[in-house]
Amino acid sequence: MQLSEIKNAIKLQPLQPTIISYADSNHYLLGVKDSSGNFRSARSKDGKWLSLNSIKEAEELLKLQGIRYAIIEIQTAYDEMIGNSSSSNCQYRVDF
């Protein structure tokens, strides 16, 4: 999904703009999640996944597309080690 397609996808389907952060990493993924938790990453014009350097950078890209909020999801290896499911990842909504 191209970055420019995210806004239309959100309007047409029940998708949430999502920024995924992995603890202790300086790379962030930007995309959309459906109601089943499936994540589709935004891609650059040359088809590569967008790997961003900060949550702020991801927010700015969304704002350029006219999107004013995102779900931030933080994943950690600790959750996997103790058997937490992916649905128990820390998530919060940020409006910008």
Domain ranges of the chain: 3-95
Strand partners of residue 33: 16, 39
Quickly state the pLDDT bin for 76 (edges 50, 70, 90).
Answer: confident
Burial class (CB in 10 A: 0-12, 13-18, 19+), 83: exposed
pLDDT at 85 over 70: no
pLDDT at 88 over 70: no
Segment 12-26 shows an average pLDDT of: 87
Per-residue pLDDT at 86: 57
